[in-house]
């Protein structure tokens, strides 16, 4: 399963945030395929469409979909001693599919900052530079040989050398690999390099309790937003401390507490949705009277593969998928009405499933 790693300098609030994540944690009985690991937090993906479908269908049971955050800080604790981020840290980042970088945007004199003052941009650059240096090392290890073979007219090596040189240029100016524009062919070469800075990133601005309702006055957040905008990255504002409290609540209680705080959606819920999408994940639904359920697929997956998310038999015996978009279904009011309105399509093996599709698979056993 794809996972988003939580990283950041010491004392920025990673553990507090991860604690909120495990606190909010999904009921693992519903997700037997998920990892049991103290450094992994399973979260349910908040999705208003699931509530809406539940109202329409009135099933016995509603099951959200889930995914995993990995706490890189927790893995690192004790594993790497001494200065710097350490090789362990880097190897753990290598294993995640997207990076959520927590940055400290709260001033608190009682909590030491590693570099002496709160400076989110310098924090971001410290981590990003470390990752760039690690990637530079990977590139340098290969570029000499690739260049030599390229000169001997080896086609694959020529392609590799071209990509490595582009990366080297980027790293020399402290730019991450994800900022380089590659063709699809080049991207295949890049994939083999297992780079750290090719992974998509979002920034989690951790603000104080006072700023959570209206972070616009927080100049640290402004700076993070400006920085992130330059690399087309998203910024999620949270107050990790309050998220810990919110995570203990559910349903109406949670709603009331959020209203008291003056926020519409908890920072953690926003983070979950943003990380999900950063991982390239999307959701389709099944909606029967027994169960209304959200399922995760990777954007670009076709109908049989999506059926396989439920069970491998569904993929093997796939015939067709009755498909209606969430919007069409809601507009029609119920499944039969949608059918009568001609909104239920019969999709075959080549159909690329879309976010929000409501699907009923037909398959041979």
Residue stretches of the annotated binding site for ATP: 11-16
CB of 357: closest distance to ligand GDP in angstroms?
38
Distance of CA 202 to the CA centre of its chain: 8
CB of 239: closest distance to ligand GDP in angstroms?
4
Strand (E) or helix (H) holding 201:
strand 201-206
* Edge-to-edge order in the sheet of strand 61-63: 61-63, 291-298, 281-287, 357-363, 318-325, 345-347
- Give the span between the Cα atoms of 307 and 314, in whole angstroms: 5
Return the range that interacts with ligand GDP (CB under 6 A); candidates 6-14, 21-29, 169-177, 299-307. Answer: 6-14
The yes or no reply on residue 14 touching ligand GDP (CB under 6 A) is yes
In 3-state terms, what secondary structure has residue 47? coil
The yes or no reply on residue 91 touching ligand GDP (CB under 6 A) is no
Return the range that interacts with ligand GDP (CB under 6 A); candidates 93-101, 105-113, 168-176, 223-231. Answer: 105-113
- Binding-site annotation, residues: 11-16
The yes or no reply on residue 92 touching ligand GDP (CB under 6 A) is no
Residue number with CB closer to ligand GDP (266 or 296): 266
Return the range that interacts with ligand GDP (CB under 6 A); candidates 28-36, 128-136, 178-186, 234-242. Answer: 234-242
DSSP classification of residue 353? -
Question: How close are the terminal C-alpha atoms of the chain, in Å?
Answer: 26
Q: Which residues pair with 204 in a beta bridge?
A: 102, 236
The yes or no reply on residue 206 touching ligand GDP (CB under 6 A) is yes
Burial track 10-44 (b if 16+ CB lie within 10 A, e otherwise): eebbbbbbbbbbbbbebeeeebeebeeeebbbbbb
- Give the span between the Cα atoms of 4 and 22, in whole angstroms: 14
Which residues inside 126-185 make contact with ligand GDP, applying CB under 6 A?
none
Residue number with CB closer to ligand GDP (135 or 211): 211
* Cα dihedral 78, 82, 86, 87 in deg (nearest 10): -70
Among 11, 28, 58, 87, binds ligand GDP (CB under 6 A): 11
Among 106, 285, 295, 297, binds ligand GDP (CB under 6 A): 106
Which residues inside 59-78 make contact with ligand GDP, applying CB under 6 A?
73
- Give the span between the Cα atoms of 180 and 167, in whole angstroms: 7
DSSP classification of residue 343? -
Return the range that interacts with ligand GDP (CB under 6 A); candidates 56-64, 104-112, 136-144, 278-286. Answer: 104-112
CB of 333: closest distance to ligand GDP in angstroms?
44
Among 178, 199, 241, 302, binds ligand GDP (CB under 6 A): 241
- Give the span between the Cα atoms of 13 and 123, in whole angstroms: 13
**Interacting residues with ligand GDP (CB under 6 A):** 8, 10-16, 73, 106, 108, 111, 206, 208, 239-241
């Amino acid at each position: 399963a794809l996972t988003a790693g939580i990283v950041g300098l010491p004392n920025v609030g990673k553990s507090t945030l991860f604690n909120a994540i495990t606190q909010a944690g999904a009921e693992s009985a519903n997700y037997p395929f998920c990892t049991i690991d103290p450094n992994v937090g399973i979260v349910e993906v908040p999705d208003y469409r699931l509530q809406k479908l539940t109202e329409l269908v009135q099933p016995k049971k509603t099951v959200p979909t889930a995914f995993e955050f990995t706490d890189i800080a927790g893995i690192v604790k004790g594993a790497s001693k001494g200065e710097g981020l350490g090789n362990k840290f880097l190897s753990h980042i290598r294993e995640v599919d997207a990076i959520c970088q927590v940055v400290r945007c709260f001033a608190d004199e009682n909590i030491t900052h590693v570099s002496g003052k709160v400076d989110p941009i310098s924090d971001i650059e410290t981590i990003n530079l470390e990752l760039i240096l690690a990637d530079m090392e990977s590139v340098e290890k290969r570029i000499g040989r690739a260049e030599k073979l390229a000169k001997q007219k080896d086609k694959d090596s020529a392609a590799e050398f071209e990509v490595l040189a582009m990366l080297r240029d980027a790293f020399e100016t402290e730019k991450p690999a994800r900022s380089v524009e590659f063709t699809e062919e080049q991207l295949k070469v890049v994939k083999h390099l297992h780079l750290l800075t090719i992974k998509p990133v979002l920034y989690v601005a951790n603000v104080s309790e006072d700023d959570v309702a209206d972070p616009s006055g927080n100049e640290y957040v402004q700076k993070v937003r400006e920085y992130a905008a330059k690399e087309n990255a998203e910024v999620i504002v949270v107050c990790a401390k309050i998220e810990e409290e919110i995570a203990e609540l559910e349903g109406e209680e949670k709603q009331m507490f959020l209203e008291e705080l003056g926020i519409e959606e908890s920072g953690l819920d926003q983070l979950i949705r943003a990380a999900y999408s950063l991982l390239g994940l999307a959701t389709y639904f099944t909606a029967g009277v027994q169960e209304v359920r959200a399922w995760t697929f990777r954007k670009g997956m076709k109908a049989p593969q999506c059926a396989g998310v439920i069970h491998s038999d569904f993929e093997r015996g796939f015939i067709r998928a009755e498909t209606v978009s969430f919007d069409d279904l809601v507009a029609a009011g119920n499944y039969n009405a949608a059918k009568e309105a001609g909104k239920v399509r019969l999709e075959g093996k080549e159909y690329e499933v879309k976010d929000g599709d409501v699907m009923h698979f037909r398959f041979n056993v």
